Chain A
């Protein structure tokens, strides 16, 4: 790629760099993700003046529809799901002229030839400069065939002096073997620096703020270790059930749907050492080290370190909801877990002996993602009587209300010395008047800019799967025929509470 001096007119602007002209090709253009997230993200990036003017989108899917029908569908998506809606008419008209459609089957070589010709035409007519971003927004079983055909059509290399990048949606494999196989398949066609494995949690403001919080403030890092931290809780709670994804969920369960990706991303950001630099590989090197330091859970120990559960009929949002086995696409005797609690240890000098309690589940009382760092209790309380001297607690709320809170003890006004815990809160929504971009906006933009820090590397994926695989094998060996149930709208099975209470601790009330 030719190196040009930066645009001098951009100096001093808060957006100092926009992507080069490019074309985004979305495989799976007729799917939900494209309509609800991807095209609205591109539209919002355009509104925020973050997109180059020479830019195009090609939706690739099986059904043959004209460009105008694709544009109309995307307009519906923007009007329904964009954070800026309805679409501004003049801006939409201009944006819509950049949307195109390429019908074809994923295993049809001629379709890729048509795509290649369309890309070349856009380069000539629209100045998209041979830069291409291929987004695999399809079901995972189509990833290998699409990657293979992209390679055979020569689309893995730019015809000009440009770049080609590939975004792959999660799940990346369903176990270690399939993840390794997928890595082999994609690396046979693309180089690692072309590959962007997306986990949209990494695009969330609070998740990015975790690095800033840890490494831009001198006061926290000295306490961020086994000497001061009693334990860490990471919760990813969903109030929804599997809805119409029962068929997929039966093959995945919560461990693949949430733990292997989202929760492990949060775990690595909490547990990592300060990187030498903020570049992609320096950060990801430290995250991989955390995964490699996880103490494996042996088959015989799955009962001590894990609890699984499955939701039963109950109530959510004041309405009755069915149990998991009554959901569409779910077997009546399914033993797929919809809830899991784990106790993990990171065996390194920073964290030795500090338990990390992770939990995630569907049909819990509310949607909430939180990291809680509970510090050790004071060695000796000087305040008796009615005083409630609780250990200090730092919580990072990822959703729904992104923010950070610190709990500390303060004296209650009055004659007596009475201590009460109080919270010091920072909430993104009320502290900064600027609305945060959606995660996909940040991630797609970063990929266009060639910034990979917020994407998962191949060794990171395999290290996560190495741990999870052992756990899956252990559960399979245990051969359970049924899982503890929990009523929908409650915080998981009773066993999950006993699990942590046996350690003299409690799950956070969210």
Chain B
């Protein structure tokens, strides 16, 4: 990104200058169509360091053509003398612009100045989202002052060692924003394909007969697989009892077992297979294969069905984009994360 440094209190003025310059350049180039300044939302991103900030700007650049926006990147650079720096740019170039980007870098203790500076930059009349890139947002002092300006907080439960703060926020009727989870969004293809196994009316009763689930993953931690398991258990009404090693036990004898298995041919830190079985031997499975496909298999009541369907592991920009289209709470996710949190 080619940003222009400005004093923090001159951000709006400089953005207006940039838009005006872009419009004039377009007219000078003979393009009669006026420049449209489209911003469907404000996206705040909190990056804990400069390296994360660079990644964030890559993601925002990929996201903007699909979601024209005002992006405000909040960067905490703790190891520097106190100072708050701002820089701005337009997103896009030449014939098409998809919004604008503001980078606020807070050095040292000036990180506490970020909320007041940011709140003044939120666009009226469009939703505002905060994407917390890493770590626990609830432990950070800038979260609470930002909350009144937001509609949704997007975090990643995979990056949290404990879920207590998340479940507390979910249970707090006064918590002012809706929570979103990128790990949950990453699991969407697996949830769809697993659900699809039980769509045929003849197979739906098998859901009540499931006794064993085996989830294989290739991640260093089982958290993503555990979140999937929690979803399944919550949807099926399974009551958790205890954990022994890699197995989660439920009240009526059901078990969910987690297997970590290297799978270099598949994307990293993902599920690789889900197998579900009943006591009578009916078996249902979704197994990832290379080329972003999954093999579905059902063996039940002397019938066997197999199919291959896409298993799209969307890039982070796409996953984030899906979350920015959501304005309502996800009761299904909340139930799953509370069930998983009860284990912690």
Residues of A within 8 A of B (CB): 2, 4-5, 7-13, 15, 18, 20-21, 46-47, 49, 52-54, 88-91, 93-94, 126-127, 129, 422, 425, 430-433
CA distance A9 to B289 in the complex (A): 23
The SS class assigned to the A binding surface is loop
A429 to chain B, nearest CB (A): 11
Chain B residues, Cβ within 8 Å of A10: 195, 199
Interface check B198, CB cutoff 8 A: yes
B114 to chain A, nearest CB (A): 29
Q: A2-B201, A7-B198, A425-B36 are in contact. Are A88 and B192 (CB under 8 A)?
A: no
- Taking a contact as CB atoms under 8 Å apart, the answer to whether A90 and B202 are in contact is no
Interface check B142, CB cutoff 8 A: no
Chain B 304-316 interface mask (CB, 8 Å, partner A; 1/0): 0111111000000
- Taking a contact as CB atoms under 8 Å apart, the answer to whether B200 and A20 are in contact is yes
Q: A7-B204, A11-B235, A127-B305 are in contact. Are A49 and B199 (CB under 8 A)?
A: no
Chain B residues, Cβ within 8 Å of A7: 195, 198-199, 204, 207
Given contacts A12-B330, A47-B310, 6 further A-B contacts (CB under 8 A): A12-B331, A18-B196, A49-B192, A54-B305, A89-B291, A430-B38
- Could you say which of A15, A88, A127 contacts B200, with CB atoms under 8 Å apart? A127
* Residue contacts A-B, CB under 8 angstroms, 8 given: A12-B332, A49-B310, A52-B200, A53-B196, A54-B200, A89-B291, A431-B40, A432-B66
- Could you say which of B65, B303, B307, B332 contacts A11, with CB atoms under 8 Å apart? B332
Chain A residues, Cβ within 8 Å of B38: 430-431
CA distance A15 to B309 in the complex (A): 16
Chain B residues, Cβ within 8 Å of A91: 293, 308-310
Chain B residues, Cβ within 8 Å of A127: 200, 202, 303, 305
- Taking a contact as CB atoms under 8 Å apart, the answer to whether B330 and A53 are in contact is no
B118 to chain A, nearest CB (A): 25
CA distance A425 to B33 in the complex (A): 12
Chain B residues, Cβ within 8 Å of A2: 201
Q: Which residue of B lies closest to A423 (CB)?
A: B34
Chain B residues, Cβ within 8 Å of A21: 200
Question: Top 10 nearest A-B pairs by Cβ distance?
Answer: A433-B66, A12-B332, A9-B195, A94-B308, A90-B293, A90-B308, A53-B307, A8-B235, A10-B195, A4-B201
- Taking a contact as CB atoms under 8 Å apart, the answer to whether B236 and A8 are in contact is yes
- Number of B interface residues at 8 Å Cβ cutoff, please give it: 43
Chain B residues, Cβ within 8 Å of A422: 34
A432 to chain B, nearest CB (A): 8
- Could you say which of B65, B204, B307, B330 contacts A4, with CB atoms under 8 Å apart? B204
Residues of B within 8 A of A (CB): 34, 36, 38, 40, 65-68, 188, 191-202, 204, 207, 232, 235-236, 289, 291, 293, 296, 298, 303, 305-310, 321, 330-333
Chain A residues, Cβ within 8 Å of B331: 12
- Taking a contact as CB atoms under 8 Å apart, the answer to whether B308 and A9 are in contact is no
Q: Which residue of A lies closest to B293 (CB)?
A: A90
A410 to chain B, nearest CB (A): 11
- Taking a contact as CB atoms under 8 Å apart, the answer to whether A46 and B309 are in contact is yes
- Taking a contact as CB atoms under 8 Å apart, the answer to whether A93 and B305 are in contact is no
- Taking a contact as CB atoms under 8 Å apart, the answer to whether B305 and A53 are in contact is yes
- Taking a contact as CB atoms under 8 Å apart, the answer to whether B293 and A9 are in contact is no
- Taking a contact as CB atoms under 8 Å apart, the answer to whether B310 and A129 are in contact is no
Interface centre among A5, A89, A127, A433 (most CB of B within 10 A): A433
- Could you say which of B201, B207, B289 contacts A90, with CB atoms under 8 Å apart? B289
- Could you say which of A49, A52, A129, A433 contacts B321, with CB atoms under 8 Å apart? A433
B92 to chain A, nearest CB (A): 11
Q: A90-B293, A127-B305 are in contact. Are A9 and B200 (CB under 8 A)?
A: no
Chain B residues, Cβ within 8 Å of A430: 38, 68
Q: A53-B305, A91-B309 are in contact. Are A433 and B198 (CB under 8 A)?
A: no
- Could you say which of B66, B191, B289 contacts A13, with CB atoms under 8 Å apart? B191
Q: A94-B308, A126-B305 are in contact. Are A13 and B200 (CB under 8 A)?
A: no
CA distance A15 to B193 in the complex (A): 11
Q: Which residue of A lies closest to B40 (CB)?
A: A431
Chain B residues, Cβ within 8 Å of A425: 36
B90 to chain A, nearest CB (A): 16
- Taking a contact as CB atoms under 8 Å apart, the answer to whether B66 and A49 are in contact is no
